[in-house]
Amino acid sequence: MPAGVRRAARRRPWCAGRRADRRGPRRHALAGLCDVCRGHRESAVAHGAHGSWGSRSVAAFGGCEAGQSQHLRDLEYLFGELPDGIQGPAVELRACLLGELALIGSGAGRRALDAYAERLGELGHPLARLPRTRLDIEHRFMVRVGGLGPVKTPNQLRSRFPEVPSADSGAVAGRRASGTRDDARAKAAALPFMAGGWAREPEARFFTLPSPLSPDDFGMSFLKELPLRCLAGEGSHRGSALACATTPDDVLNELFSASYNGGLNGQGQGAAYARLYAWGSLYALMGLPADVPFLEAVRQAADHRWLRFMAFTDWFHHDTSDVAFAVLDPTRTRVTVLAATDTDVDRDGLG
């Protein structure tokens, strides 16, 4: 890659700023509560979060190191007084603590914490609408498996996901697709990457088809016919584009990780807000209203078809993080595409 095309910096380790994963899950997660005390940017406000998904960031709080040594029962005193509003760092800290505890299966069933969570819901805090327990579809959040880092190359993609064969009829169907603009939905879909400070603004696009798409036609031949910025110039570089079938839990985990780990030169978000942004993005990809219950969203996600794809264009550089998904709805007449890159390229290269 030419000098100056990308930042000459080494990606920080996944566990930078976090303790090793060798301890028991509860003790590790209590130490991880200090994530909410890091100096997070006001990402949701800066990047246009909207609607019931909220527009609040995790602020920098002092003294959270106490969570590393205290048992869960010693944190209950923090929730003894119910709030009158959701503004201010004290309420925000507690909302984030509840969000972190939910992801490790702790806190629920404790009277003070349950009452505080219920009060946050009454006051309309955005984190309060998240489940108080970790859902099965979230099983990969914050889980690191040795040897399974980010998918950067076509060989890695092929080795981990089943490739979808290309079909000429898919190309014909792709040429018949028409784009639909929805700025609010696009912002929600892109928010995990914007919050994490990825190098480029993601591409979120929505398309409709005049007739149902055959499942066999939903592949790379179809995608290459869409007017996507991430695929501009495909075929003019060495290498072939490919698409692989994936699952909703893989997509949701990538969305969570984008915000939680942050970009190369960005700032990772605390787990509570990373979870919120990931779910908001998944809902946007499926076109679901925010009031759809989470388990209903999980059920509907299983009825969609999900692809991960990769190409050799000015968007994909195969050296940092490049993520691209395509989603076909159950009617097979609506397609959503979300692509993000953490490679800092010349703006002229991507248009």
| Tens-digit pLDDT string for the chain (351 aa) | 443 333 333 333 333 333 333 334 444 444 444 444 333 333 333 444 433 343 333 333 333 333 333 467 778 888 999 999 999 999 999 999 999 999 988 877 888 999 999 999 999 999 999 999 999 999 999 887 766 777 888 888 999 999 999 899 999 999 999 999 999 999 999 999 999 999 889 999 999 999 999 999 999 999 999 999 999 987 666 778 999 999 999 999 999 999 999 988 888 999 999 999 999 999 999 999 999 999 999 999 999 999 999 998 888 877 768 899 999 999 999 999 999 998 875 544 444
Q: How far is CA 324 from CA 42, 153, 166, 329, in A?
A: 25, 12, 17, 17
Quote the pTM value: 0.81
Identify the DSSP state of 11: P
pLDDT at res. 346:
54
Which residue from 29, 109, 113 is spatially nearest to 76, judged by alpha carbons? 113
| Lookup: tokens for 163 | 């490739």
Say how far apart CA 295 and CA 136 lie, in whole Å. 10
Beta bridge partners of 341: 322
| Lookup: tokens for 215 | 């499942």
Vertex 31: Cα angle to 26 and 34 (nearest 5) = 135
Say how far apart CA 280 and CA 190 lie, in whole Å. 9
Say how far apart CA 2 and CA 167 lie, in whole Å. 35
Beta bridge partners of 246: 306
Residues in the chain: 351
- Residue that the structure tokens 């036609």 belong to: 217
pLDDT at res. 71:
65
Say how far apart CA 83 and CA 154 lie, in whole Å. 51
pLDDT at res. 35:
43
CB 274 within 8 A of CB 280: no
Say how far apart CA 211 and CA 206 lie, in whole Å. 16
Helix (H) or strand (E) holding 118: helix 111-123
Give all strands of the β-sheet with 322-328 in edge-to-edge order.
Answer: 178-180, 203-208, 334-341, 322-328, 305-310, 242-246
Which residue from 243, 247, 246 is spatially nearest to 166, judged by alpha carbons? 243
Q: How far is CA 264 from CA 11, 12, 141, 254, 268, in A?
A: 5, 7, 19, 15, 10
pLDDT at res. 67:
37
Residue 347 burial (C-beta neighbours within 10 Å; 0-12, 13-18, 19+) = exposed
